[in-house]
């Protein structure tokens, strides 16, 4: 599945999950999810500690955002448009949420 397909599936899931109760929305295991970002046309998985932070923020609000540190840059990741912006350079990059298949 391509990153574009992952993002589209996530947007569809967000719409469906928006109808659930908050207790269900935040019930997840971060080991089952890998967040990635695109740099120079290559997708990189976020480090485990950053991945966990991003997944917890996503679980609280699937249309919100979170601040994270990545490669010495403070970034704001926006879940509604699946983009990440470096606050220092204002570089915008795509992000993706990939769930492990059961």
Extract the tokens encoding 53: 């932070």
CA–CA separation, 66 vs 74, rounded Å? Answer: 10
The contacts of residue 86 (CB under 8 Å, 6+ apart) are 73, 74, 75, 93
| pLDDT at residue number 31 | 63
Tell me what the pLDDT averaged over the chain comes to. Answer: 81
pLDDT confidence band for 20 (50 / 70 / 90): very low
Mean pLDDT across the stretch 51-60?
Answer: 96
The percentage of the chain sitting over the pLDDT mark of 70, rounded to a whole number, equals 68
The answer as to CATH 2.60.40.10 being correct for domain 3-99 is no
Q: Where are the domains of the chain?
A: 3-99
pLDDT confidence band for 91 (50 / 70 / 90): very high
Mean pLDDT across the stretch 28-44?
Answer: 83
């Amino acid at each position: 599945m391509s990153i574009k397909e992952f993002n589209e599936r996530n947007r569809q899931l967000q719409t469906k999950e928006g109808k659930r109760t908050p207790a269900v929305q935040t019930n997840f295991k971060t080991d089952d999810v890998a967040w990635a970002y695109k740099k120079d046309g290559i997708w990189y998985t976020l480090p485990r500690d950053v991945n966990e932070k991003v997944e917890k923020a996503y679980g609280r609000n699937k249309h919100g955002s979170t601040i994270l540190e990545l490669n010495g840059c403070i970034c704001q990741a926006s879940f509604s448009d699946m983009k990440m912006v470096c606050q220092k350079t204002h570089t915008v990059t795509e992000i993706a949420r990939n769930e492990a298949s059961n």
